[in-house]
Chain A
Amino acid sequence: MDATMSKPAMPTPTERRTKKLFGIGGWYVLVILVCVIMILPLMWMIGIAFKGNSDIYKIPPEFFPSELHWENFLKGPEAINFLQLFLNTTIITILSTIGSIVSSTIVGYGLSRIRFPGRKIWFYLFVGSMMLPGIVGLIPMFHLYLSLGFYDTWMPLILPSWLGNPFFIFLARQYYLSIPFSLDEAAKIDGAGHFTIFTRIMLPLTSPVWITMAIMSFTGTWNDYLTPLVYLYTDSKWTLSLGMASFAGGFAGVATTQWNQYMATDLLYMLPPLIIFLVAQRYFMLGVSSLATTARNQ
């Protein structure tokens, strides 16, 4: 299967046209089949989110709801105090996204545009720390935050991003190195310092890279589960990931609760990352292709 698909567009001899058309038809059938399989769980979920309370236990189950129950989208969120958790998650996500962009672009600028002894070593140390699995820090950091009085606060979720994200630093540095140095020189002759060059020249010129960072950081923080799980105790401080996990945990695999309302809530939880993805697809791809070129230039 893969072999025939790997063929890039070929110049078409007329005698093979019908064969090719047949191939294209087969390709569409296959691709659409795969897409249906991938999208089926989501469709099923949307169907249940609209079902009535008695419909969800109907045997045999029906795929489509017999009538649309919009109230699930109100009752479900109420059950986990959705609005509060949504607000919490939004604040945490925005603060840590801003933090990681600010700190990583500053460090990236320092590593790429300022000449100082040891900058190569620091660069390799920062980037090398990407290889360190997060779990190694879990327990010592928990102890540290506890003794600083940060347990059950948002600090452990926000503070780390203000101290530079290794992957973002790497991205920023790579981008900055592609900007001609003559721009800096010209600005320096005009009397600009590094901070001015950074804010006035570098940041506006490299908007794709920090938009990519913003998206990656947003989805990363929005989706994070382990950190809030370890640090947040009081349920009014929870993030949505904690709320949703405990919402589903309440069912304990037995369908005795209103999981139509659960599905409705889950859809609302998925919505922000989904919207960002659909709006900013281009930048998702940018992050991906920078990863791909990184691999090639290793």
Chain B
Amino acid sequence: MLASGHGRQRSATRRRRYNRKEALIGYLFILPSIIGFTVFVLYPLFSSAYYSLTQWDGIKDPVFVGFKNYIYMFTKDPSFIPSLQATILFAILSVPSSLILGLLLAVMLNRALPGVRLFRTILYLPAVLPSIATLTLWKFIYNPQVGLANQVLEFLHLPTSTWLGSYQMALPSIVIVGLWGVGATMIIFLAGLQAVPQELYEAAKLDGAGAFNLFLRITIPMISPILFLQLVMQIIGALQAFNQAMVLTGGGPGFTTDLLMYSIYQHGFGNLGQFPQLGYATAQVWVLFIMIIIVTIFTFRLSSMWVYTESNLD
């Protein structure tokens, strides 16, 4: 943001008024995004708000029904509340575990010892694999008879599980698959850790601070902006998780992994042997969207309490 201020200041001293030809060229340059913004942001935003108030099978024109979809969703639909619960539980399980594990691994690998680069590469590797490749692989890992997961448990003389087929373990199993890609979080934290000035640690150590205090009083505050950005992005991502339910569980058993995105897909496009319910699916999209907005605003509000900012000149 600072750089943009400089640029503007400089060009402002150079030329006070906008040049008309320059303005035209400027708009030509950003035209692709103006079209993109209109087609992919404005149009869907307004039309989906309308579609959510209609009954619509995708073949005939949508019929306006007011808030019927929303009322049905919260009062009659037997699958909506469980799927909302599954989605929230998934976010609660996956986001903190990924952040904590990612930070621990980053701290662990933030050392200048021989081989550390190789270790970073290995830990990051699963994160670059295509999501479908990973998920289908884990489908076999979780196979109760021949899968790796039970083999490992047996090897360690621990009780085995039916994983994706179990009411208790289905959702945690999906979370574990996500944790295999924790390298993505780790690498972002690592970039943040490396930017923390070493003098801060030196100074604190002169004052006799222990390792735990250094971590709590220097590391955490210094990387809190990254922690915050990660938190927001991961919550938004977790609430929109889809592939896991689609590939691994099909929403089951029961509604334990019936994530909202999966439910939306099933209502709108799934072949449940019935007409697509696009209006109803769009209403669910809006519930999810509003949920995301609320969580994001809430996180931003709370952020001033714990996110460290270097200067507040503005």
Contacts and interface: CB of A to CB of B under 8 A. Distances in A.
A and B from one assembly? yes
A253 B26 contact: no
Interface in A229-244: 229-230, 240-241, 244
Range of interface residues on A (Cβ < 8 Å): 35 or more
A12 to B, nearest CB: 13
Given A288-B188, A288-B191, A137 B40 contact: yes
Interface string B122-139: 111110111111011111
B243 A129 contact: no
A269 B29 CA distance: 37
A177 interface: yes
Which DSSP category, helix, strand, loop or mixed, fits chain B's interface?
Answer: helix
Contacts of B187: 284-285, 288
A226 B242 contact: yes
A292 B29 contact: no
Interface in A58-83: 59, 61, 63
23 contacts: A5-B108, A35-B119, A42-B126, A107-B29, A110-B28, A114-B29, A115-B15, A115-B26, A126-B33, A131-B296, A137-B48, A140-B44, A144-B43, A177-B4, A225-B131, A230-B269, A253-B143, A253-B165, A274-B125, A284-B124, A284-B187, A296-B310, A298-B225
A15 B23 CA distance: 70
Interface string A234-277: 00000011001101110101010001001100100110011001
Interface string A114-150: 1111010010011001011111111111111010000
B33 A122 contact: yes
Contacts, number: 316
| Residue among A225, A253, A288 having the largest count of chain B Cβ atoms under 10 Å | A253
Given A137-B44, A139-B278, 9 more contacts: A31-B108, A34-B123, A38-B125, A41-B137, A240-B130, A245-B136, A248-B136, A262-B140, A284-B128
A22 to B, nearest CB: 14
Contact of B128 (A7, A9, A131, A219): A219
A269 B188 contact: no
A4 interface: yes
B228 interface: yes
Given A139-B268, A177-B4, A269 B130 contact: yes
Interface in A17-67: 24, 27-28, 30-32, 34-35, 38-42, 44-45, 48, 56-57, 59, 61, 63
B97 interface: no
Contact of B240 (A40, A135, A173, A293): A135
A206 interface: no
A56 B146 CA distance: 8
B275 interface: no
Interface of B: 1-4, 6-7, 10-11, 15, 18-19, 22-30, 32-37, 39-41, 43-45, 47-48, 51, 58, 103-105, 107-113, 115, 119, 121-126, 128-133, 135-141, 143, 145-146, 148, 151-152, 164-165, 180, 183, 187-188, 191-192, 195, 198, 201, 205, 210-212, 214-215, 219, 225-226, 228-229, 236, 239-240, 242-243, 246-247, 261, 264-265, 268-269, 278, 281-282, 285-286, 288-289, 292, 296, 310
Contacts of B11: 115, 181
